């Protein structure tokens, strides 16, 4: 949710993740923008009741379509294969999710 600049940051995040990951997992985005296609993402979750505040992040599990989710904010960039860190979260994540 938020300004268009955050949409572009989220797209940069998913591109950097897929470029640096040997075995990328599904990567979704949560958005309130019906006009942006977010083609880089495997899944797009459209929310209609976005507050455009930190509360959207707190409610992220309510929106996630996945059984297991690791949230990465849209202003991040992957410089290494992030999958090596998922083992620290109980055996590995199956999905990643960004919010914009």
What are the sequence ranges of the domains in the chain? 4-99
Among the residue ranges 7-11, 15-19, 89-93, the one predicted with the least confidence is 89-93
- Say how many CA atoms lie within 13 Å of 60 toward its Cβ: 21
pLDDT above 60 (res 99): no
- List the one residue out of 3, 28, 31 whose CA is nearest residue 14: 28
pLDDT of residue 19: 96
Q: Strand pairing partners for 97?
A: 28, 71
pLDDT at 97 over 60: no
Tell me the pLDDT tens digit for each residue of 41-85: 999 988 887 777 677 777 777 888 887 778 888 899 999 988 877
More confident residue, 98 or 43: 43
Indicate if the pLDDT at residue 91 is higher than 70.
Answer: no
Name the strand (E) or helix (H) holding 44: strand 43-46
What's residue 70's pLDDT? 80
List all residues 6 or more positions away from 47 whose beta carbon is below 8 Å from its beta carbon.
1, 30, 31, 32, 56, 63
């Amino acid at each position: 949710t938020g300004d268009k600049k955050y949409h572009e940051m989220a797209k940069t995040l998913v591109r950097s993740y897929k470029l640096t990951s040997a075995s990328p997992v599904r990567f979704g985005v949560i958005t309130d923008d019906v006009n942006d296609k977010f083609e880089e993402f495997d899944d797009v979750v459209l929310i209609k009741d976005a507050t455009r505040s930190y509360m959207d992040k707190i409610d992220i599990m309510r929106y996630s379509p996945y059984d297991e989710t690791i949230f990465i904010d849209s202003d991040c960039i992957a410089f290494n294969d992030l999958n090596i860190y998922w083992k620290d979260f109980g055996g590995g994540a199956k999905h990643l999710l960004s919010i914009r």
